[in-house]
Homo-oligomer: A and B are copies of this chain.
Amino acid sequence: MSADRLALVERHKDLIALAIDAVETRRSWSPFKDSPSTKIHGVEKPAAGKAAFEARLGARFELDQPGVMDWVGEEVSPYTQEALGITYPVSAPEALIDAASAAMPAWVKADPELRMALCAEMAVRLYERNFEMAQAVMHVAGQSYTQAFSGSGPNALDRGIEALAYAAKAMRGVAPRAAYHRDFAGEEVALDKTYTLQPRGIGFVICCASFPTWNAYPAMFASLATGNPVIVKPHPIAVLPMAIVVEACRGVLAEFGFDPNLVTLAVDTLAAPVAGRFVDDPAVQIIDFTGSPRYGGHLERTVTGKLLFTETAGVNSIVVESTANLPETARAIARATCLFSAQMCTSPQVVFVPKGGIATDDGRVTFDEVARAIVAEIDAIAATPAQASAIMGAVQGQVSLDVVQETRAAADIHGAEVLREAAPYDHPQYPNARTMTPLVLAAEPEHQALYAEERFGPVLFIVAAEDGHAAVTEATDLAKSRGAISCYLYSRDERFMDHAAELYERAGANLSINLTGAMWINFAAAYSDYHVTGLNPAGNACLTDIAFVASRFRIVQRRRPIAA
* A residues adjacent to B (C-beta < 8 A): 24-28, 105, 169-170, 173-175, 178-182, 184-187, 189, 191, 193, 195-196, 198, 200, 300-305, 501, 504-506, 508-519, 525, 528-530, 533-535, 540, 542, 545-547, 550-551, 554-561
Contact = CB atoms under 8 A, between A and B. Distances in A.
Nearest to A22: B178
A207 B25 CA distance: 39
A175 B24 contact: yes
Nearest to A551: B547
A514 B560 contact: yes
Given A26-B193, A198-B533, A305-B540, 11 more contacts: A25-B178, A180-B528, A187-B518, A189-B518, A193-B528, A301-B305, A303-B304, A511-B557, A515-B559, A529-B559, A535-B554
Contacts of A519: 182, 184, 187, 189
Nearest to A523: B184
Contacts of A189: 517-519
B555 A530 contact: yes
A254 to B, nearest CB: 25
Contacts of A540: 305
A25 B181 contact: no
A518 B28 CA distance: 55
A175 B26 contact: yes
Nearest to A301: B304
Contacts of A547: 170, 547, 550-551
Contacts of A504: 556, 558
Nearest to A544: B555
B28 A184 contact: no
Nearest to A177: B26
A181 B295 CA distance: 38
A510 B556 CA distance: 5
A517 B187 contact: yes
A508 B302 contact: no
Contacts of A303: 304
A23 to B, nearest CB: 9
Contacts of A169: 173
8 contacts: A178-B528, A180-B525, A195-B530, A198-B506, A511-B556, A514-B561, A533-B554, A547-B551
Nearest to A548: B550
Contacts of A180: 26-28, 525, 528
B26 A529 contact: no
Contact of A198 (B27, B181, B535): B535
Nearest to A200: B535
B175 A546 contact: no
For A191, A517, A556, A560, the residue with the greatest tally of chain B CB atoms inside 10 Å of its CB is: A556
Contacts of A542: 554-555
A540 to B, nearest CB: 7
A505 B514 CA distance: 53
A26 B195 contact: yes
4 closest Cβ pairs, A-B complex: A26-B178, A513-B560, A187-B518, A184-B518
B559 A512 contact: yes
Contacts of A530: 195, 555-557
A170 B546 contact: yes
A560 B195 contact: no
Contacts of A501: 558
Contacts of A525: 180, 182
Contacts of A516: 561
Nearest to A176: B26
A28 B181 contact: yes
Contacts of A505: 196, 198, 556, 558
A560 B173 CA distance: 33
A174 B545 CA distance: 8
B558 A550 contact: no
A43 to B, nearest CB: 21
A293 B411 CA distance: 55
A164 to B, nearest CB: 15
A70 to B, nearest CB: 34
B518 A175 contact: no
A557 B300 contact: no
A561 B509 CA distance: 18
Contacts of A173: 24, 169, 546
A100 B512 CA distance: 30
A518 B186 contact: yes
Contacts of A545: 174, 550, 555
A196 B184 CA distance: 44
A514 B559 CA distance: 9
Nearest to A491: B560
A2 to B, nearest CB: 21
A178 B180 CA distance: 40
Contacts of A550: 545-547, 550-551
Contacts of A25: 175, 178
A65 to B, nearest CB: 25
Contacts of A304: 300-304
